[in-house]
A = this chain, B = another copy of it.
């Protein structure tokens, strides 16, 4: 079983209620809050099971408080289960505390038929051979490897040159980040994994001049999963084009190794704390 499948496994304990364990290996800072996409993916597994459909189609998660590693309870409610789509609500609690609330629709993307058109502007992500092996073009200090955020270690990364230089005080000036990636353990990517991919890079806003990197809490994340990914590298590109009154969106686009669009994401987040109001 892959690391991702293991760490997002849910156990039905009856009446639409599931138990899962949030693993500390998906945090942005070791020992701190788990990645929002990972939390969404775990809940989505329960929601898909409850709704009787294999794939997330569009999932929205509102983050109320950062989960801590350890057991969570996921309560699902099937709002409507049609032939083609199942709409499911869910809440994640730890003890008596609400950590996240979700609403999503699930389907069988293998059975999706109908026309396909792609007029999407090609992202400026360079081809994989022109990208950086890892997240940075600087050789990591072996002594600092323990500081690599756990979630980055879950993927093998080929990163667009320059987009991580904000970490050394040199943001690109454009709100964009992205690269090519796949699971570090070689597992195939499924439609639940795409929910993590949609939230696995440092915030694109870190590349905007004048905004200090810091915790940029996600208020709400919505991911549309559009197809099951073909085997191989994914490419992902994230942009923040508008910051308004301390709020920002981050839009993501994920393609598979054949160039097919597999996910679109958008989140609403607060600007990094150091810079925010």
How many residues on chain A are close to B (CB under 8 Å)?
Answer: 57
From known contacts A174-B119, A208-B117, A275-B115, infer whether A105 and B220 are also in contact, taking CB-CB under 8 Å: yes
Chain A residues numbered 220-277 whose CB sits less than 8 Å from any CB in chain B: 220, 222, 224, 226-227, 240-247, 249, 260-261, 264, 266, 268, 270-271, 275-277
For A142, list chain B residues within 8 Å (CB): none
Number of copies of this protein chain within its complex: 2
Q: Does A60 contact B (CB under 8 A)?
A: yes
- CB–CB A119/B62 < 8 A: no
Contact of A226 among B87, B91, B113, B247 (CB under 8 A): B247
Contact of A277 among B101, B114, B220, B246 (CB under 8 A): B114
From known contacts A87-B64, A211-B115, A249-B264, infer whether A244 and B271 are also in contact, taking CB-CB under 8 Å: no
Contact of A244 among B79, B116, B241 (CB under 8 A): B116
Q: Does A210 contact B (CB under 8 A)?
A: yes
Q: Does A219 contact B (CB under 8 A)?
A: yes
- CB–CB A219/B105 < 8 A: yes
Q: Does A177 contact B (CB under 8 A)?
A: no
- CB–CB A58/B219 < 8 A: yes
Q: Give bound CA distance, A118 to B114, whole Å.
A: 36
- If A117-B243, A249-B264 are given as contacts, then 15 extra A-B residue pairs at C-beta distance below 8 Å, sorted by A number, are A87-B101, A105-B220, A112-B246, A112-B247, A114-B243, A115-B210, A115-B246, A116-B244, A117-B208, A117-B210, A118-B243, A224-B249, A224-B268, A226-B244, A242-B264
Q: Does A154 contact B (CB under 8 A)?
A: no
